[in-house]
Structure 1
């Protein structure tokens, strides 16, 4: 009982014996407990120091046990101390876990700040690619612009999804056309969830903040977060529209019903570009674009643009 409070086993035995009698001398305690006299004397000294016994003025001296209530108060104090220690330990445990996560994350995440740092990091990633580059591109373009034609090595496969708005500016479509290589695939989505560059499915770069003064990006390496980003790219890719840009490296349609000019027009329509933006890209008027769209609808035997999109997907025109 008393050992949980730091008392010795001998002190516990002597105290229990004292509680069972009104008072006792050291010799009587030795006889009752079977302990040597020296051990009893040491135990009594400890009990007196802890306030668990008191000595009378009799000769020879007799000893009286303190009330068990005193022990109860001591246990309550110890419990309070243990609770405080537990709270302190909990705080230390939280800090330890945070430090462990920080140490682990230091190898997974890397912050990149500023236009030039983001640009250099993107260029390094392109140069280091060995098998595949995945790209989600949406305005504003901060690191590397499409017209700069920064590309990985020839054997590296590229899959890029543009947000529709990124293709509406003058020259954007021509830049895509000029940069398309054999094996590259380009698609368009009306709204991308995030900008992202992924190299060899082992490292990704995406923005954290992109204000005009100090854009901030983060590099994400192998781990659960990168796995989630790859799943996100695959989902966006599956829901995006293939873009035909009339390049000698473009894949041929499954059904050779349309010429290259019509396939490009149809892919731009499906990508969500406005008639005005398409006219700018094609160097023609909106009226010409609308007339060609009507011609496509007639050839597909449909009456609306929605039906035209359905027929194009069904027949594999793009």
Structure 2
């Protein structure tokens, strides 16, 4: 029992004997416990020093055990010390885990601060691309704007998803059309979860504090977080609407039902752009856009735009 308080086994044995005998001399303790006289003397001296036994004034001196309540109090004190030590250990363990995680993550995450730093980092990433660039574009555009036409090499495949709002500004659709290369694919989603560019599925850049006075982005390299972001891109890509902005690199539609102009109008409608935004992109009036949409509905033998979208999906017009 006393060993948990730091006492030796001999001290524990002597204390138990003292409690049973009420009082005893050193010689009696040695005889009943089987200890040698020197060992019994040492154990008794240690118990007296710990306050667990006392010496009488008799001759020869007799020893009396302290009340078990004293031992209970000592155990309670030790429990408080152990709880305090556990609390300290928990804090140290948490700090150790945090430090270990920081050291592990130091090669995975990198913070980029400031608009010019973001711009330069984005341009460097595009320049290092070798196989594929994945891009989620939503306003506000902070680093590289669409009209700047910053591109990877000609052999790099590009897949870009624009948030609808990002295509409503004048000139944005023209910039997309002029920058479209063979093999590039563009889609539109009404609401993107994040802005992101991923290069060769090995590094991603995500703007973080985009509304602060000092924009901040994080570079994420290969690991579980990047894998999750790639899965997110694929999920959003599957739900997005293909955007057809024909140029000299674009294959012409096989279906004779739609001309290139009709297909572009239809894809802008399906992308969620307003008639006003479509009119600005096409350099016509809203009335002209509405007239052309009505002509498409008549040719598809439908009465609403929703039905037109259904027919376009059913027949694969876009």
8 Å Cα contact 1:254/1:317 also seen in 2 = no
**For 1:67 and 1:165, how far apart are their aligned partners in 2?**
82
Unaligned runs of 5+ in 1: none
**For 1:231 and 1:283, how far apart are their aligned partners in 2?**
38
- What are the Cα deviations for residues 67-123 of structure 1, in whole angstroms up to 9, with x where unaligned? 222112111111121111112222222222222222222222211111111001111
Shift of residue 180, structure 1, vs aligned partner: 0.5
**For 1:66 and 1:274, how far apart are their aligned partners in 2?**
91
Shift of residue 311, structure 1, vs aligned partner: 0.9
**For 1:258 and 1:308, how far apart are their aligned partners in 2?**
13
- What are the Cα deviations for residues 229-260 of structure 1, in whole angstroms up to 9, with x where unaligned? 22221121111111111112224445342111
**For 1:122 and 1:307, how far apart are their aligned partners in 2?**
41
Q: 1:42 to 1:182 in 2, by over 3 A?
A: same
Match of 2:116 in 1: 116
Match of 1:259 in 2: 259
Shift of residue 263, structure 1, vs aligned partner: 0.9
**For 2:229 and 2:293, how far apart are their aligned partners in 1?**
37
Shift of residue 49, structure 1, vs aligned partner: 0.3
8 Å Cα contact 1:108/1:222 also seen in 2 = yes
- What are the Cα deviations for residues 10-61 of structure 1, in whole angstroms up to 9, with x where unaligned? 1112112211213222112111112111111111110110111111111121
Match of 1:270 in 2: 270
1:3 aligns with 2:3: yes
**For 1:252 and 1:236, how far apart are their aligned partners in 2?**
26
1:94 aligns with 2:103: no
**For 1:195 and 1:6, how far apart are their aligned partners in 2?**
62
Match of 1:141 in 2: 141
Q: Secondary structure at the match of 1:317?
A: coil
Match of 2:306 in 1: 306
**For 2:188 and 2:296, how far apart are their aligned partners in 1?**
21
Match of 1:75 in 2: 75
Shift of residue 287, structure 1, vs aligned partner: 2.1
- What are the Cα deviations for residues 135-184 of structure 1, in whole angstroms up to 9, with x where unaligned? 11111111111111111111211000111121122211111111111110
Which deviates further from its counterpart, 176-185 or 228-237? 228-237
Match of 1:287 in 2: 287
**For 1:104 and 1:212, how far apart are their aligned partners in 2?**
28
Match of 1:204 in 2: 204
Which deviates further from its counterpart, 102-111 or 4-13? 102-111
8 Å Cα contact 1:177/1:245 also seen in 2 = yes
**4+ residue stretches of structure 1 with deviation over 3 A?**
251-254
**For 1:111 and 1:88, how far apart are their aligned partners in 2?**
32
8 Å Cα contact 1:254/1:316 also seen in 2 = no
8 Å Cα contact 2:26/2:37 also seen in 1 = yes
Match of 2:232 in 1: 232
Q: Secondary structure at the match of 1:20?
A: helix
TM-score by length of 2: 0.95
8 Å Cα contact 2:253/2:259 also seen in 1 = no
**For 1:31 and 1:251, how far apart are their aligned partners in 2?**
107
| Backbone CA RMSD of aligned residues | 1.5
Q: Secondary structure at the match of 2:24?
A: coil
**For 1:69 and 1:172, how far apart are their aligned partners in 2?**
84
8 Å Cα contact 1:256/1:317 also seen in 2 = no
**For 1:10 and 1:286, how far apart are their aligned partners in 2?**
101
